[in-house]
Structure 1
Amino acid sequence: MKRHNPYQKQDKYEHLVVQQEAPLLEWLLANLKQSKSKTKATLQNRGIKVNKKLVTQFDFMLRPGDKVSVSTSKSNDKFHSRHVKLVYEDRYLVVVEKNHGILSMAAGHSSLNVKKVLDDYFKKSRQKCNAHVVHRLDRDTSGLMIYAKDMQTEQILERDWHNIVYDRRYVAVLSGQMEEDNGTVANWLKDNKAYVTYSSPEDNGGKYAVTHFQVLDSTEHHSLVEFKLETGRKNQIRVHAADMNHPVCGDIKYGNGDDPVHRLALHAYVLCFYHPITHQPMEFDTPIPVSFRTLFSKK
């Protein structure tokens, strides 16, 4: 017996037939009379069916004759958060952009965290899964993150993270004008008993950390710098920036009190990885935060 879905009558669909082979998102953008952002949102929020089956993969390959159903109902948008933006979703994982000020996962009694936001969304959208933490960003760092939707995907990502993630970049506002336009910082990082990470040019029993940097813009007082991680250690960029005597602005732990944007001026803005299940390259980027750019438009 088919179970009655109380939401069925609310859902209205536009039906289209595929003429030429194409990836789903590319085809939708070419064939739907709506904005790019709305089309992406409909796909991410489970509003697209191919041959009556729900599809969320933007690179799902369409064949001639496939029937595509596009939801025109506003009720299919179930993801709402002031703190987290859903960038990509498929059956195995989600990519999100988190705001500064929100934890990656629960810690102590804090209720506001990305994992909880995602778990609430999965429940609301009737998905039988939970968000599995694969990597973390500090509470005050904003930017792109991956969460697995099942244990198997989580384990693949954690086990082979260094090979799966092939490009991970951050942008930061540093205090002062950098002396060099680009370079590399490499040393050993270790936490002391107060959980403050410190560096050593020689092996101190900690973890070896390598950070590449490139200056994007500068003024007399600040530098906009891109960081590319070769290793992903705790507080790596913040400690390495302080090592260069140009700490990240707004950094209470390793900074010098310079706080022009009234937040930790660190944003994870490029994340590229091979999909742990399909092995397809997945490439995501977000704009440099406006508050960062504004400092350099006043020159």
Structure 2
Amino acid sequence: MENKNIEVKDENGNDDLYEHFRFLADKGQQPLRVDKYLMNRVENATRNKIQKAAKDGNIHINDVAVKSSYKVKPHDVITVLFEHPPYELLLTPENLPIDIVYEDDDVLVVNKEPGMVVHPGHGNYSGTLINALAYHFENLPNPAIINGVNNTNRPGLVHRIDKDTSGLLVVAKTDIAMTHLAKQFFNKTTEREYVALVWGAMEETEGTIEGHIGRHPKNRLQNTVYLNEDDLHKGKPAVTHYKILEKLGYVTLVSCRLETGRTHQIRVHMKHIGHTLFNDARYGGDAILKGTTFTKYKQFVDNCFKILPRQALHARTLGFIHPTTNEFMKFESPIPKDIQQCIEKWQKYSTHAEQ
């Protein structure tokens, strides 16, 4: 659980400390120094920065300030406090273009461009979809908590997609719509289909990937799959259904349908079964993972990387029940130009390779 914008009082009752992060340690949490614990959970945080926060009395466990050497235990509530409000609270409306696929009085369906961050966070306090929504729409619903996570800096947002993933998002315009849509995502009744280009020739025409997804124990910028029963507490259940759309030699075009919505779910699940997303730098897909050693092949792949300078993932289909009319609505976004051009290059290459 992570909160970023709750005002708290210090021991003298002054309103000058602000909660930037809140984490609830799992029931299976092994003893671990709080500075190491936070390094694995706070993106872009250095150990020095965390240790300084502890030294300044800004790291609390169960409402008590602790040193950086404190060992986190199961069910501990860890909070990080600072004297200034989180930058996310200082949400600045920005006149940024939004590709609106559908809009009525209750909902908004947006086709997000690759490269746009969905909501403010560390290193991205402007230029986000939320900044744009704040400019174009007034009084979007801003509930305190969705699924146990504080979201007051994410008006209208029910779900999100990664910065370099393109495609469809639904935004709530009213409190009723927010509650209704949040329940649908929680109950897994929405329909979400992604198109992905992955490394390797997949053998099974279709299949299902299951495995708890949680933060990688060594690389805090990645998530990973946990399968052992003793490790399941480190992640949350995740289910991805996939189907081959086209075999293209050393890569495969697949359709992925989400049953759950974990962070980086498709990227993590596909890597787990040996088919990392094409040009997914965070998960190692920006290297040549399959193919030949010929120089011409390396040049070909490098050209594909230049055409598609991001992970090959697009949220193509989104379906949900309208919160007011109860009508099932389904939207589809065409595969964007960069992914389509990359697919076409692989189509030509695989055709020539077969001859």
TM range (shorter): 0.5 to 0.7
1:189 aligns with 2:194: no
| Cα separation, partners in 2 of 1:230 and 1:150, compared to 1, 3 Å | same
- In the alignment, which residue of structure 2 is the partner of 1:290? 337
Q: Structure 2: how far apart are the matches of 1:262 and 1:197? A: 21
Deviates more, 1:218-227 or 1:136-145: 218-227
| Cα separation, partners in 2 of 1:289 and 1:274, compared to 1, 3 Å | same
1:172 aligns with 2:186: no
**Sequence identity, in percent?**
34
| Cα separation, partners in 2 of 1:175 and 1:192, compared to 1, 3 Å | closer
Q: Structure 2: how far apart are the matches of 1:216 and 1:236? A: 19
Alignment map for 1:20-169 (pairs within 5 Å):
81-82=96-97, 84-108=98-122, 109-122=124-137, 129=140, 131-163=155-187, 165-169=189-193
Instruction: Give the alignment partner of residue 256 of structure 2, picking from 224, 227, 230.
Output: 227
- In the alignment, which residue of structure 1 is the partner of 2:273? 244
- In the alignment, which residue of structure 2 is the partner of 1:26? none
Superposition CA RMSD, Å? 2.1
Local SS of the residue matching 1:217: strand
1:135–1:146 CA contact under 8 A, matched in 2: yes
| Cα separation, partners in 2 of 1:174 and 1:282, compared to 1, 3 Å | same
- In the alignment, which residue of structure 2 is the partner of 1:257? 286
Local SS of the residue matching 1:264: coil
Which amino acid in 1 is paired with 2:191? D
Local SS of the residue matching 2:137: helix
Instruction: Give the alignment partner of residue 202 of structure 1, picking from 228, 243, 250.
Output: 228
- In the alignment, which residue of structure 1 is the partner of 2:242? 213
- Cα displacement (A) at 1:257: 2.1
| Cα separation, partners in 2 of 1:267 and 1:276, compared to 1, 3 Å | same
Residue by residue over 1:97-129, the C-alpha shift from the partner in whole angstroms, topping out at 9 and shown as x without a partner, is: 001111111124531111221221225xxxx54
Local SS of the residue matching 1:91: coil
Residue by residue over 1:45-83, the C-alpha shift from the partner in whole angstroms, topping out at 9 and shown as x without a partner, is: xxxxxxxxxxxxxxxxxxxxxxxxxxxxxxxxxxx855x
Local SS of the residue matching 1:208: coil
1:164–1:276 CA contact under 8 A, matched in 2: no
- Cα displacement (A) at 1:140: 0.8
Q: Which runs of 5+ in 2 are unaligned?
A: 1-94, 142-154, 288-303
- Cα displacement (A) at 1:164: 7.0
Instruction: Normalising by structure 2, report the TM-score.
Output: 0.56
- In the alignment, which residue of structure 2 is the partner of 1:53? none
Q: Structure 1: how far apart are the matches of 2:175 and 2:253? A: 38
1:168–1:272 CA contact under 8 A, matched in 2: yes
Deviates more, 1:251-260 or 1:203-212: 251-260
| Cα separation, partners in 2 of 1:160 and 1:167, compared to 1, 3 Å | closer
2:188–2:260 CA contact under 8 A, matched in 1: no
